[in-house]
């Protein structure tokens, strides 16, 4: 007797758990040939608020973690994706119509991209900080610090999604990612994150429509920065204008990104704050005794 298939309903990834949308809504996801593939949770404004609240909690502990520890966690994500590579490639073949070779190549490139950014975590201070030359009896140095909570409007491909997300968390930030084009691969990624030692709240993935969720993310005063790689046209302009009201950092690529090329440092720099410290040096009398 033939059995009925059990279609999967993909939920959100929020605070380290997989809840349904607060609104109870779902939307249909079709495969590359237009046939039904799955149902995905359609996030609401309330889900955006919950994701930002979870990110704020996660950002505090993630920023305090050592650079070495953050690198270990990101490398662990790469390990988990490597172990799930066959399943991820199967999803890419179905959702994007890729050949088995191309799907496998994208998964391998995604794993390599994570390893790349895992290696950056303990090098940020050396590359983006350092001693400053000053004309005076002072020692001055600069050091990079996380911006905080970053909203990411991502592209639909697995490699594009990870290429946007990895530099955000490598710098010690927490992320709220909105995925519209391919929610299935995004939540498949989240299922790997859930077993990869990522602290709860550091990465939150909302599936839904950018035009609905983007303005709420841009207007939220507890979001410190936006990556608008996946937003285009009038929506991108609207989100930039809305983000300016709360003085957010906004990253917009100058051209359509080619994620297959080796990444530069622009995405890392975009979500780092540079703190500069001045300290007097030399013999300075303090009430007749001691010196700096």
In a domain, 222, yes or no: yes
pLDDT band at 133 (very low <50, low <70, confident <90, very high): confident
Residue 268, helix vs strand vs coil: helix
Residue 223 inside a domain? The answer is yes
pTM reported for the whole predicted model: 0.91
User: CA 219 → CA 25, 155, 246, distances in Å?
Assistant: 23, 21, 7
Among candidate residues 6, 1, 35, 13, the one with its CA nearest the CA of residue 183: 13
Whether 104 maps to a domain, the answer reads no
- What pLDDT is stored for residue 281 in this prediction? 83
Going by DSSP bridges, is the β-strand pair 130-132/138-146 parallel, antiparallel, or unpaired?
Answer: antiparallel
State residue 79's pLDDT score: 97
pLDDT digits (tens, 9 = 90+) for 153-194: 998 799 999 999 999 999 999 999 999 989 999 999 999 999
In a domain, 235, yes or no: yes
Tell me the residue range of the domain where 161 lies. 10-15+22-29+37-63+125-280
Write out pLDDT tens, residues 262-274.
999 999 999 999 9
Quick check: 288 pLDDT over 60?
Answer: no
Q: Where are the beta strands (DSSP E) in the chain?
A: 9-10, 26-30, 36-41, 130-132, 138-146, 149-153, 174-179, 203-207, 225-227, 249-251, 272-280
Give residue-wise pLDDT tens across range 44-95.
Answer: 999 999 999 999 999 999 999 999 999 999 999 999 999 999 999 999 999 9
Does 80 map to a domain? no
CA 191 to chain centre: 15
pLDDT for res 279 = 85
Residue 108 lies inside a defined structural domain of this protein:
no
- Domain membership of residue 196 (yes or no) is yes
Domain tally, the chain: 1
Confidence of residue 292 (pLDDT cuts 50, 70, 90): very low
Residues making up the chain, counted from first to last: 292
Dihedral angle of Cα 88, 153, 42, 74, to the nearest 10 degrees: 40
In this predicted structure, the answer to whether residue 285 has a pLDDT above a threshold of 60 is no
Residue 274 falls inside a structural domain: yes
Residues in CB range of 255: below 8 A, 6 or more apart: none
Compute φ and ψ for 95, nearest 5 degrees: -80, -35
CATH number for the domain that contains residue 171: 3.40.605.10
């Amino acid at each position: 007797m033939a059995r009925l298939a059990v279609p999967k309903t993909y939920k959100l990834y929020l605070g380290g758990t997989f809840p349904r949308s607060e609104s109870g809504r779902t939307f249909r996801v079709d495969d590359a040939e237009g046939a039904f593939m799955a149902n995905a949770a359609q996030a609401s404004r309330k889900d955006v608020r919950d994701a930002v609240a979870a990110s704020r909690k996660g950002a505090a502990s993630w920023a305090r973690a050592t650079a070495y520890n953050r690198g270990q966690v990101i490398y662990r994500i790469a390990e988990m994706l490597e172990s799930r590579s066959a399943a991820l490639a199967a999803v890419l073949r179905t959702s994007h119509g890729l050949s088995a070779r191309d799907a496998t190549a994208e998964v391998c490139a995604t794993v390599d991209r994570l390893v790349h950014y895992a290696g950056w975590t303990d090098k940020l201070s050396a590359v983006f900080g350092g001693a400053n030359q000053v004309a005076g009896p002072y020692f001055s140095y600069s050091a990079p610090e996380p911006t905080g909570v970053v909203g990411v409007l991502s592209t639909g491909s697995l490699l594009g999604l990870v290429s946007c997300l990895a530099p955000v968390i490598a710098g010690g930030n927490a992320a709220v990612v909105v995925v519209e084009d391919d929610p299935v691969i995004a939540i498949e990624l989240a299922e790997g994150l859930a077993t990869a030692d990522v602290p709860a709240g550091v990465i939150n993935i909302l599936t839904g429509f950018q035009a609905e969720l983007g303005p709420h993310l841009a207007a939220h005063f507890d979001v410190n920065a936006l990556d608008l790689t996946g937003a285009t046209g009038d929506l991108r302009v609207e989100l930039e204008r809305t983000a300016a009201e709360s003085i957010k950092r906004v990253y917009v690529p100058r051209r359509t990104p080619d994620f297959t090329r080796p990444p530069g440092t622009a995405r890392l720099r975009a979500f780092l704050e540079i703190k500069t410290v001045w300290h007097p040096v030399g013999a300075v009398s303090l009430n007749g005794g001691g010196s700096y």
